[in-house]
A and B are shown apart, each in its own frame.
Chain A
Amino acid sequence: MKRPLIAATMMLAPLSAQAQEVGEIVSFVSCPVYRDTDNGRKSGCWLVRDGESGKQWDVSQSPHKPNWDYAVFVEGRVADQGDEFCGAPVLEPVRTSRLLDHRCPRHMLPPEGYPGRVFIAPDRYLTSLANPPEFEGPFGPRTFYAFFEFDRDFLVYQYSDFIVQQAAYWIEAAQPRRLVVTGYAATDPIEVSGMELAESPEIAQSRAEVVVLALSRLLPGMEIETRWETGSQPIDVPDADTIPGQSQRRVEIAVEF
């Protein structure tokens, strides 16, 4: 996964659907379109049109991709890439969250000469049990952050599952006294494409509990306290990939010695 070097000040960029400068945030809700490119496994394209600007974007690089039955909440940064892969300018990094209360007609485009992208395993690829990472001390207090799709508590493959797995390996090596796991939900409403979006308060607790269950299996016997908070605010940490909304939908794993 590419991680553009975007300054922390970009976190303050306006959530304007009109923003089209490289690095600026674009945010909207719309129905996804699948372009059936075939460049090997997982090479299909996802395109979503911003109804306000009329511009269509390539959002295929989201770690959690759309379902063509439902609208998606798109949050992404304009990338310095052309439309040569899928036929639309690229948002990357980008997140697409499925809104299961908003159905869409299925729509699929043919490749129309676009190749799609050859799948490349992302950096956040689960470590096999045969080759566990090795961490060496000294160890001290540290916080890990796992991130979620909008209003969901699922640890997405090759993204948040990797973060939790790597955290567990580090914790196993560090042998801390205990963990405090806090789930957050972005419950403050925001307006996007004429819709008011807010996560449900309950998702903060369920996110925390999912991560606690995962950690309890990865680290049997570890003392873990579970907490949750609503009204989550953006934070600037690397694995949120500079997407402010993504950083709000998180679980923090605080390691205490």
Chain B
Amino acid sequence: MKRVGQPRHLRFAKALPVIAAAGALAAASAYASGGESAADERWWSPGEGRVFPEVLDYENEHGTLRTLLVGGPLDTEGHPFFEPISSNGRACVTCHQPADGMSLSAATARERWDATNGDDPLFAAYDGSNCPTLPQGERASHSLLLDRGLIRIQRQWPPAPRLGEEVVPDFTIEVVRDPNGCNSGAEYGPENGWISVYRRPRPIGNMKYLLAVGFNFDPKQGLALPRDPETGDYLSGNLMSDNRAFTLKEQMDDAGLTHLEMLRELTDDERDAIKAFEMSLFAAQQTGRGGAVDDGGAQGGPAVLRDAEPGELGSIGFPVWGEFAAWEEISEEDRARLTPEQVEFRQSVARGARVFRDRTFLVSDAAGVTTQMGFGNPFRVACKMCHNMTRMGNDVAPGQVDLGTTTLPFADHFGDLPLFRITCQNDPHPYYGREILTYDPGFALSTGRCADVGKITLQSMRGLAARAPYFSNGSAADLRAVVDYYERRYNIGYTEQEKQDLVNLMSVL
């Protein structure tokens, strides 16, 4: 390792004043339509040694995504987030691309496939293909990544110990269908101690919000929050889809040994450098169809995220998506300088925020919120009930909830995903019964509890415009598909206007 961590971070802040100053005025736009060089610049390959600017903008179909790096710019040469520190040629940045809101869109994966004929470390056999046993180099063997942005996640079965306690599952799992071969055969599948599921990379950045703890109780589990054994801090439970890692350290170690296929553990210096970068990085949409999202009194964009306190519950503090309240009524002065389309779009965003907060619908059979915590089944709420953290839209409490996106009968049909049959050994699942068919048991793969099948951790709603498709299994191709899923799942009865307003809202986050 040549150079690692915060010292370089600070040293190069002085060395690159031109970039920093330019970024403060008009951010370096690293995107231009068409052309090989533009695509190359948009994609961050491991080991390039590029400088990560303090302000970095990338266009997307909804506007511009901006990243802000506190204390930046950062010379990435030698930095473990950006360097290929293992033999498969990947780095963290491979699946956490700045242009994609620090996640990875399916469109970007396809662009990368086309640009390299599939010869990019992104398509590593281990988890960038549907299964390592398939012929690599063929597009069909990487279809889940290329079509829906899915990375293979291999979970230990039975689950690894959790919080120092052995996990004894209260359900059995069998493979009903294995279209990719990674849940059967001589090496894979529950009989060999491994279960493969396929999930979207979760965005890094805005991490102070995902690590924030507003209260010391988890109401969904009916327990006080666990604490980090090293620091004593309460743990948010909001980092990973199945909440298998409680801390950034655990998440990094998990990613290093799996996605990077490292044959050694990360060093403390490497972990510190990665953590420093992730905790300094904020990502959000900066412009949309209505212009800048921090214009006209609105408070969108990453600068507000950088400066705000995390962990605030919107119902008792700043309202969720109250950032756009100023757009409810556009001043005559603003109308004079905006196009009619921009005015209409801003008002649509403001209405969308209202719909998000106030338009109630009946939620039923959503394990995590309708089971034990006391709300009853069903109960009437709006989107903000679960997406309740001010400025971020994730859950202030640990956000493991079953929306049905991965589990039948609510999940959309996907013939290319493995299908598992869960059989509960003790009490049946409160809604699915004793036998459950699921594409991804989610949280249950961490806890071993039948009652947790299908629960997926709510994630940040920031930077959505840059990182389609959505939901943990990429089942929603675009923002409208997200709204449509909720409409189907809960028979909400949104008007066409409400649906479009919600889409427009999500496009500027």
Residues of A within 8 A of B (CB): 34, 36-38, 40-44, 46, 63-69, 100, 108, 121, 126-130, 152, 154-159, 161, 164-165, 168, 210, 213-215, 217-218, 220
Contact = CB atoms under 8 A, between A and B. Distances in A.
A253 B213 CA distance: 26
A129 B380 contact: no
Interface stretch (B143-151, B225-233, B258-266): B225-233
Contact of B382 (A37, A41, A129): A41
B385 A41 contact: yes
B216 A129 contact: yes
Nearest to A213: B223
A46 B375 CA distance: 11
B190 to A, nearest CB: 28
Interface of B: 213-217, 219, 222-227, 232, 234, 311, 313, 316, 358, 360, 362, 364, 370-382, 385, 427, 430-431
Contacts of A68: 364, 377-378
B360 A41 contact: yes
B379 A44 contact: yes
A158 B374 contact: yes
A96 to B, nearest CB: 9
Contact of B360 (A40, A126, A130, A218): A40
A155 B372 CA distance: 9
A220 B233 CA distance: 11
B227 A220 contact: yes
Contact of B222 (A36, A40, A44, A161): A161
Contacts of A100: 427, 430
A154 B373 CA distance: 8
A155 B225 CA distance: 13
A210 B222 CA distance: 9
B225 A217 contact: yes
Contact of B377 (A41, A69, A218): A69
Nearest to B217: A161
A156 B385 CA distance: 17
A69 B313 CA distance: 31
A65 B376 contact: yes
A211 B209 CA distance: 29
B380 A38 contact: yes
B225 A34 contact: no
5 contacts: A100-B427, A126-B215, A128-B215, A157-B222, A214-B217
- Which of B216, B225, B227 is most buried by chain A, counting CB atoms within 10 A of its CB? B216
A82 to B, nearest CB: 22
Contacts of B377: 66-69
Contacts of A158: 219, 374
A44 B370 CA distance: 13
B384 to A, nearest CB: 8
A133 B56 CA distance: 43
A128 B381 contact: no
Given A155-B223, A156-B373, A38 B378 contact: no
B391 to A, nearest CB: 15
B370 A67 contact: yes
B380 A218 contact: no
A220 B231 CA distance: 12
Contact of B380 (A42, A67, A159, A215): A42
B217 A126 contact: yes
B351 to A, nearest CB: 18
A82 B313 CA distance: 34
B223 A214 contact: yes
B232 A220 contact: yes
Given A46-B376, A165-B217, A156 B381 contact: no
Given A40-B360, A67-B430, A69-B431, 12 more contacts: A41-B382, A43-B360, A44-B362, A67-B370, A68-B377, A68-B378, A130-B214, A155-B217, A161-B222, A213-B224, A217-B216, A217-B225
A232 to B, nearest CB: 20
A130 B311 CA distance: 10
A19 B371 CA distance: 31
A210 B218 CA distance: 13
B379 A165 contact: no
Contacts of B382: 41
Contacts of B376: 34, 44, 46, 65-67
A40 B227 CA distance: 35
B374 A64 contact: yes
B378 A217 contact: no
Contact of B219 (A37, A46, A161): A161
Nearest to A162: B217
A163 to B, nearest CB: 11
A58 to B, nearest CB: 13
Listed from nearest, the 9 A-B pairs whose CB atoms lie closest are A65-B376, A157-B219, A217-B224, A155-B222, A67-B377, A214-B224, A154-B222, A157-B373, A64-B374
- Which of B232, B313, B379 is most buried by chain A, counting CB atoms within 10 A of its CB? B379
Contacts of B430: 67, 69, 100
Nearest to B235: A217
B375 A42 contact: yes
